Amino acid sequence: MTTSHSLLLGQLRQAVGAANVLTQGDLSAYEQDWRKRETGKSLAVVRPANTLEVAAIVKACVAAGVSIVPQGGNTGMVVGSTPDATGTQIVLSLLRMNSVRALDGGNLTVTVDAGCVLQNLQEVCEKAGFLFPLSLAAEGSCTIGGNLGTNAGGTQVVRYGNTRELCLGLEVVTAQGEIWDGLSGLRKDNTGYDLRHLMIGSEGTLGIITGATMKLYPLPVAQLTAMAAVPSLDAAVQLLGLAHQHLSAGLTGFEVMGKFALRLVTKHFPQQRVPFQDSDAPYCVVLENSDQESEAHARERFERLLEVAMAAGCVLDAVVAESITQARALWHIRESIPLAQAQEGLNIKHDISISVSRIPEFVRLTDAQLEQAYPGVRLVNYGHLGDGNLHYNVQAPAGADAEAFLRDDEKGVNTIVYDMVDQFKGSISAEHGVGSLKRDKLEHHKSPVALGMMRAIKQALDPQNTMNPGRVLRA
């Protein structure tokens, strides 16, 4: 260890207490990404308790020329929250900053520390009689700071928008260690550049989010969930159109799941009962209807929608949950897909968005190209169809060595998928972000003008390249 590194560790211990500067023992929870794609080595994992401590850490690191990787729950999908292998970066874990600071029912806002786990925030809001609608399968471990850092999507975007749309204000420690208090809670503020939106989705490369003011909604009076078997993706898109028409703002979830994705759930979690397993339907859809009137009203509208959809031939069969337990079980099937896929082995993930109406054509063309280039390849296709966002994932052929498949074929598979995304004017990252996994791809798929503006922003706000270097943009 260099003298300047030892000096820095001493300063960090002074700032946050020796017990919160971790340098020894098993640090894999902080140094390995969730998908186990990469394992890094940190100089230290530093765990501040408040914003002033974060500012002190940043100032000390800037002075020592040491870079910082902000980390929340470390559930990100694109290798963005773990250190590189050099042993010279600090992981700044926000997990100790986990308080809900204030809930303002009149303003329909909640102000929260960045390290607050999403599920804890949802529960606090619900107890107070409000809905915080952000919802994703990692909610038991991901943090609101990580959600903002990635502009996370999840399963309620069709009604409430991405994390960006739910955020009214931020508190940020800048790359110089200054504190910007932007926790306004205002719904209107046109005083120049919107710094909040610059920070959201910047994946820790421009500053550290330490607090946020988020929007709340009234709790729905009734919430119904259904699962429908559909004869094709075109039919699923047709069903989405009907659901918008019949449920309007009541439509709070619309997820699609391919047959093979569902098979992986039954294979790895045999205790789950997955409807329509014996049917020939190539896709199933989970729909959610939230209603402000009554359960009877919600059921009536939902049943009418399904009747119309069956008559139009876009639904083969459907089940409507009769209880909260049954509704949870249907959602659990959908949310288990990433875990089942991880158990099946290493895989290539694509988190793409395309205009909803063009998704069936995209899938037809891309499936055909991949099957021709990589015979036997297994396509795990599921995702947030209501938002035009597919997790169009690729698993090695059955029995093949997954590690070798990724080593030899990931590049070729990605080229086929992302070139097709370009042809459809889509995006190569709908909700997971760029991290280091997609950084080089971004160079090819984002316009040079846009990349130039992004580099100018990074240079202006973080000229020393302290904040998460090499993520989103090349260092």
Does position 379 interact with ligand MLT (CB under 6 A)? The reply is no
Residues 134-163 that bind ligand FAD (CB under 6 A): 136-138, 142-143, 145-147, 149-150, 152-154
Q: If you count DSSP H runs as helices and E runs as strands, how many of each does the chain have, helices first? A: 17, 19
Is residue 435 involved in binding ligand MLT (CB under 6 A)?
Answer: no
Closer of 32 and 88 to ligand MLT (Cβ): 32
With binding defined as CB under 6 A, does residue 391 bind ligand MLT?
Answer: yes
Of 169 and 338, CB closest to ligand MLT: 338
Which of 305-312's residues contact partners 24+ apart within 8 Å by CB, and which partners? 305/242, 305/243, 305/246, 305/247, 306/226, 306/228, 308/242, 308/246, 309/228, 309/238, 309/239, 309/242, 312/238, 312/242
What mask, x for binding ligand FAD by CB under 6 A, covers residues 224 to 243? Answer: --------------------
204 touching ligand MLT, by CB under 6 A = no
- Neighbour count for residue 179 (Cβ, 10 Å): 15
Please pick, from the candidates 40, 48, 70, 201, the single residue that binds ligand FAD as defined by CB under 6 A. 70
For position 149 contacting ligand MLT by CB under 6 A, the verdict is: no
E-only strand ranges, 292-360: 317-320, 347-348, 351-353
Nearest-approach distance from CB 313 to ligand FAD, in angstroms = 30
Q: Binding of ligand MLT at residue 137 (CB under 6 A)? A: yes
User: Is residue 339 at the binding interface for ligand MLT, with CB under 6 A as the rule?
Assistant: no
Of the candidate spans 67-75, 257-265, 276-284, 325-333, the one that interacts with ligand FAD by CB under 6 A turns out to be 67-75
Q: Which residue is nearest to ligand FAD (CB)?
A: 146
CA–CA distance, 226 with 232 (Å, rounded to integer): 18
From the CB of 210, what's the least distance to ligand FAD, in Å? 7
Task: Based on the shown chain and the rule CB under 6 A, indicate whether residue 169 belongs to the binding site for ligand FAD.
Answer: no
The alpha-helical segments, DSSP class H, found in 188-274 are 195-199, 233-247, 259-268
Q: Give me the torsion for CA of 152, 235, 333, 318, rounded to 10°.
A: 140
**Alpha-carbon distance 187 to 426, whole Å?**
30
Residue 143 binds what, of ligand MLT, ligand FAD, none (CB under 5 to 8 Å, by partner type)? Answer: ligand FAD
Q: Transcribe 284-307 into DSSP letters.
A: EEEEEEEESS-HHHHHHHHHHHHH
Q: Measure the CA–CA gap between 265 and 367, rounded to whole angstroms.
A: 21
Residues 316-375 that bind ligand FAD (CB under 6 A): 338
Size of the site for ligand MLT (CB under 6 A): 6
Cβ–Cβ < 8 Å for 135, 331: no
- Please give the residue ranges that form the binding site for ligand FAD (CB under 6 A): 34, 69-77, 80-81, 94, 114, 136-138, 142-143, 145-147, 149-150, 152-154, 203-204, 208-209, 338, 431-432, 435, 468, 471
- Please give the residue ranges that form the binding site for ligand MLT (CB under 6 A): 137, 337-338, 351, 383, 391
